[in-house]
């Protein structure tokens, strides 16, 4: 394990895949896991929010990250998405163009170039914009790329017009997928909680990610909405073929749809495996229920 040397803004060159194969004698990028987290540590002063954490997430898989409150789950997402720079460790995304070391990249590069999208524990939509506008704004990087900040873009000439049309088509597709088409013109902030959560997922999917990170998407949902969420996430996994990383407290969601689960407690991984094994793991049960006190144990 070595101290990470955060080098902001660096992106692996197209030849990186070949180099990593040559140096590490390793596999081509597309054969490994989609995401590898290796020995990541994130400290705040003396507090180890994430402590020497390693795990991986596969393509076309739902990998859940669970654990009691304060276990370090959101901090882990903040490290993966570039909001925090871990003091130690490596986070590798096996991008089709070659491995990308996320701990070295700025957050906007991680979302725009690496293809990592996220939703937030506390919903972050543009509350005063319409539902549809939220989905168009999410695609601003593609639209700005097509306009090339040029007069042609401003005048709506062909390349920009095509990009704009595609952005609207993508937005309509995801509105339909999450069942919000009839509410396209409503203000996002006026929607019920469950709808806002689905809109956040649609917004993330409009960026066409390789990895979708969801921070408690079932929080505040009723059982019917949770069941709909399960179907939506399985659909995304199966139809879009991307990796999903899921933080969730609702075990009816986690156990039903996860392919793989990593359990954190006080920043450390205490268990990893398939749902059935995790459910029966004594360390996991202890972390959630606490140690029985002496009187109860007797």
Q: Which residues bind ligand ATP (CB under 6 A)?
A: 44, 47, 49, 67, 69-75, 121
Residue 20 as a binder of Mg ion (CB under 5 A): the answer is: no
Residue 214 Cα to chain centre, angstroms? 5
Q: Which is nearer to ligand ATP, 80 or 135 (CB)?
A: 80
Count how many residues are written for the chain: 298
Strand ranges for the chain from DSSP E: 35-44, 47-57, 62-66, 88-95, 98-101, 116-118, 211-215, 243-247, 260-265, 268-273
**Residue 183 φ/ψ, nearest 5 degrees:** -110, 15
Residue 75 as a binder of Mg ion (CB under 5 A): the answer is: no
Q: Which is nearer to ligand ATP, 120 or 126 (CB)?
A: 120
Round to the nearest angstrom and report the end-to-end CA distance of the chain. Answer: 43
Give dist(CA 257, CA 245) in Å, integer.
12
Beta carbon of residue 49, minimum distance to Mg ion (angstroms, whole number): 10
Where in 164-223 is the site for Mg ion (CB under 5 A)? Answer: none
Residues near Mg ion (CB under 5 A), total: 3
Q: Which is nearer to ligand ATP, 74 or 207 (CB)?
A: 74
**Residue 193 φ/ψ, nearest 5 degrees:** -50, -50
The site partner of 70 among ligand ATP, Mg ion, none (C-beta below 5 to 8 Å per kind) is: ligand ATP
Give dist(CA 50, CA 86) in Å, integer.
9
Beta carbon of residue 266, minimum distance to ligand ATP (angstroms, whole number): 8
Beta carbon of residue 29, minimum distance to ligand ATP (angstroms, whole number): 29
Residue 139 as a binder of Mg ion (CB under 5 A): the answer is: no
Binding footprint of Mg ion on the chain (CB under 5 A): 73-74, 121
């Amino acid at each position: 394990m070595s101290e990470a040397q955060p080098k902001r803004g660096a992106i692996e060159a197209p030849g990186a895949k070949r180099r990593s194969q040559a140096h590490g004698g390793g596999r081509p990028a597309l054969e490994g896991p989609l995401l590898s987290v290796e020995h990541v540590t994130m400290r705040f002063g003396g507090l180890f929010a994430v402590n020497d954490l390693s795990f991986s997430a596969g393509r076309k898989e739902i990998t859940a990250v669970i654990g009691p409150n304060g276990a370090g789950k959101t901090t882990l997402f903040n490290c993966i998405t570039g909001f925090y720079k871990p003091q130690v460790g490596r986070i590798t995304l096996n991008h089709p163009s070659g491995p990308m070391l996320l701990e070295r990249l700025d957050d906007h590069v991680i979302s725009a170039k690496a293809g990592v999208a996220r939703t937030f524990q506390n919903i972050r939509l543009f509350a005063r914009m319409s539902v549809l506008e939220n989905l168009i704004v999410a695609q601003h990087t593609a639209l700005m790329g097509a306009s090339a900040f040029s007069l042609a873009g401003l005048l709506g000439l062909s390349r920009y017009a095509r990009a704009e049309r595609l952005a609207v088509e993508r937005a309509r597709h995801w509105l339909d997928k999450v069942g919000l088409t009839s509410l396209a013109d409503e203000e996002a902030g006026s929607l019920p909680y469950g709808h806002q959560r689905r809109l956040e997922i649609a917004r993330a999917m409009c960026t066409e990610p390789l990895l979708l990170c969801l921070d408690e998407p079932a929080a505040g949902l009723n059982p019917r909405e949770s069941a709909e969420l399960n179907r939506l996430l399985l659909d995304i996994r199966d139809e879009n073929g991307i990796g999903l990383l899921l933080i969730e407290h609702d075990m009816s969601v986690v156990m039903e749809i996860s392919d793989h689960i990593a359990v954190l407690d006080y920043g450390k991984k205490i268990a990893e495996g398939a749902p059935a094994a995790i459910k029966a793991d004594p360390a996991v049960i202890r972390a959630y229920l606490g140690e029985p006190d002496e009187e109860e144990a007797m």
